[in-house]
């Protein structure tokens, strides 16, 4: 009985240690009453100036926690997010260069006033949580992809192949101009661990990833997240929540590949 108890204790200590080691890669730091300010222009709406002030507060929060590197990338990210230019985020190096993120943002104080010249000024204070990474991307962790096209006709199937460089689990999202989907895993395709240097076909079973659009042409983006550990996405299925989730993953266990394509409705020509 003592031997069994010792085995269980050692196993429990290993699990706790492994969990602590993993969690230490990402540190969450609460921030309070962080200030941001934006000065408007005649062409800007109040909401746009307000969003810029919030983004300035986010950058300040990152500075306070010590995430000082690549602040230009953060500023570009927030500007793209504010304008809805999500393509810029996925086509830049932002996903790999950012060493932290800001989440759970709450505006706790807001002041708006006009200067003597009639210029709108918005000052914001936010509470939130800064996610700081204590690891760097693994340059040896990646994947090759085959079979992805630039154009697909309406009601055709999406198929592709993946070959990871290391053991990996994969989560795939499909973002259109109006919707977001968790493409893999799904009700018919469970998550599984891919082995290094082997090709895997998606879909993995006898189903189709059917692409449809009511527009003449609609942009889509496939977001493929490879992970060294099995971490399933559990959040709301929308662009912002998915991106926030990616930013909370330690850089050394994730590899993100994206592919943009158009779905064309030939019937509208």
Q: Identify the structural domains of the chain with CATH numbers, from first to last.
A: 26-133 (3.30.1660), 143-268 (2.60.40.2550)
Residue 110 near residue 98 (C-beta atoms within 8 A): no
Q: What is the pLDDT along the chain (269 residues), one digit of tens a residue?
A: 333 333 333 333 333 333 434 457 778 889 999 999 999 888 888 888 888 888 889 888 888 887 766 555 555 555 555 544 555 455 445 555 566 778 788 999 999 999 888 899 999 999 998 888 888 889 999 999 999 999 999 999 999 999 999 999 999 999 887 788 999 999 999 999 999 999 999 999 999 999 988 888 888 889 999 999 999 999 888 887 888 788 788 889 999 998 889 999 876 54
Q: Phi first, then psi: what are they for 222, rounded to 5°?
A: -95, 125
What are the DSSP calls for 102-171, one per residue?
Answer: EEEEEEEEEEEEE-TT--EEEEEEEEEEEEEESS---TT--EEEES--SEEETTEEE-EEEEESS-BEEE
Task: Say what the pLDDT of residue 133 is.
Answer: 81
Residue 5, pLDDT score: 34
Q: In what order do the strands lie in the sheet with 254-264?
A: 151-153, 254-264, 217-227, 169-176, 180-184
Euclidean distance between the first and final Cα of the chain, in Å? 76
122, two tokens: 């918005």
The pLDDT of residue 79 = 54
How many other CB atoms sit within 10 Å of the CB of residue 236?
A: 12
What was the pLDDT predicted at 63? 84
**Whole-number Å distance between alpha carbons of 261 and 160:** 13
Closest by Cα among 233, 119, 237 to 178: 237
Question: How far is residue 132's CA from residue 89's CA, in Å, rounded to a whole number?
Answer: 19
3-state secondary structure of 253: helix
Tell me which DSSP letter residue 24 carries: T
pLDDT, position 31: 93
The token pair that represents 190 in the structure block: 């469970």
Spatial distance between the Cα atoms of 261 and 220, rounded to a whole number of angstroms: 5
Which whole-number Å values give the CA distances from 167 to 14, 77, 222, 246, in the listed order? 22, 30, 21, 19
Strand partners, 114: 120
Distance CA 142, CA 75 (A): 27
């Amino acid at each position: 009985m003592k031997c069994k108890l010792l085995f269980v204790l050692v196993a429990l200590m290993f699990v706790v240690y492994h969990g602590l080691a993993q969690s230490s890669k990402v540190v969450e730091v609460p921030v309070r009453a962080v200030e941001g300010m934006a000065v408007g222009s005649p062409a800007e709406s109040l909401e746009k100036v307000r969003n810029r002030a919030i983004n300035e507060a986010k950058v300040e929060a990152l500075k306070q926690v010590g995430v000082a590197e690549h602040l230009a990338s953060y500023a570009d990210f927030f500007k793209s997010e504010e304008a809805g230019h999500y393509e810029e985020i996925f086509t830049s190096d932002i996903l790999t260069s950012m060493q932290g993120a800001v989440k759970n943002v709450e505006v706790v104080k807001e002041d708006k006033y006009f200067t003597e010249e009639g210029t709108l000024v918005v000052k914001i204070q936010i509470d939130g949580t800064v996610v700081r990474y204590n690891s760097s991307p693994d340059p040896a962790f990646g994947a090759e992809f085959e079979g992805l096209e630039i154009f697909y006709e309406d009601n055709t199937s999406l198929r592709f192949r993946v070959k990871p460089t290391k053991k990996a689990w994969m989560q795939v999202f499909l973002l259109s101009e109006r919707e977001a989907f968790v493409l893999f895993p799904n009700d018919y395709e469970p998550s599984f661990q891919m082995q290094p240097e082997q090709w895997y076909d998606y879909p993995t079973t006898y189903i189709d990833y059917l692409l449809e659009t009511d527009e003449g042409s609609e942009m889509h983006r496939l977001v493929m997240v490879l992970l060294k550990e099995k971490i399933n996405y559990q959040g709301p299925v929308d662009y912002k929540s998915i991106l926030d989730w990616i930013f909370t993953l330690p850089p050394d266990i994730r590899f993100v590949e994206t592919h943009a394509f158009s779905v064309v409705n030939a019937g509208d020509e």
